Amino acid sequence: MASTVIKNWDNKTWLSSKDYIESFNNFLIKNIKINSNCKILDIGCGRGKILGSLRSKIKLKEKPLGIDIVNHKDRDKRINFKKINALNLSFRKDQKFDLILIKQTIHLMKFGEIKKLLKILKRSVNPKGKILIFTLDTGKNEIPTFKLMKYKLNKSLNRDKKILRIITDLYPQRIKKKFIFDVKIDKEKYLDMIKKRYISTLIPFSKKQLIEGIQEIKIKYSKVLRFKDKLICIIL
């Protein structure tokens, strides 16, 4: 898995808001069968707020398992957490999951690593269980950007298209859905997210590039940003 560490994607952003988490979990419940007996694994869980909320919502009997390469001190206590690279996962033959989530993580991996991970997870999911892979909408993405950020993001989205083709080739019966969340955020708060490199596209940027980009956004956008955060969901 890529060594790049994104520490702020779910830290005080709309992705960590109560409304977003509620909307995302409602999407899960609507599209797959989940009950209190389900065993759930989240690959790249971050602080585990989504899993923790889901556990409370459907009263899971067993704590969900979240894995990540960063051990956040403020992670949700309603989940079990393991600091590990997903490619090093190993489970007992009798340890199976009913739902496996990969949310905005798979794009950090090389193509060969993606194939390897999916093989590992297919062995670890129950016969009637599901693997859900979420990635940014590669078609009509509305994330507010500055010029260089947009160029890099489009480059990343083109790579995501190749990843989606790989998954489709491996699993032609896959189901494709879309998750859309209406975002409303103060421009100053969004600028702070950019400073903290909340999205992987921003990781390689120099401090100077970020400062110049922030100035662009200050001029380009109004005080309150409104846009749709769109994700493609692949169900295996």
Please give the helix or strand (H or E) that residue 146 lies within, else none: none
Q: Is 115 helix (H, G, I), strand (E, B) or coil?
A: helix
Residue where the block lists tokens 């496996």: 100
pLDDT digits (tens), the chain, 236 positions? 344 455 545 556 788 889 999 999 999 999 999 999 999 999 988 888 999 999 999 999 999 999 988 888 888 899 999 998 888 888 888 889 999 999 988 988 999 999 999 999 999 999 999 999 999 999 888 999 999 999 999 999 999 999 999 999 999 999 999 999 999 999 999 999 999 898 889 999 999 999 999 999 999 999 999 999 999 999 99
User: What gap in Å lies between CA 189 and CA 171, rounded to an integer?
Assistant: 40
Element (H, E) at 48: none
Domain architecture of the chain: domains with CATH: 14-185+226-235 (3.40.50.150)
Q: What is the 3-state secondary structure (H, E, C) of 56-104?
A: HHHCCCCCCEEEECCCCCCCCCCCEEEECCHHHCCCCCCCCEEEEEEEC
Phi-psi region of 59 (alpha: psi -120 to 50; beta: other; left: phi over 0): left
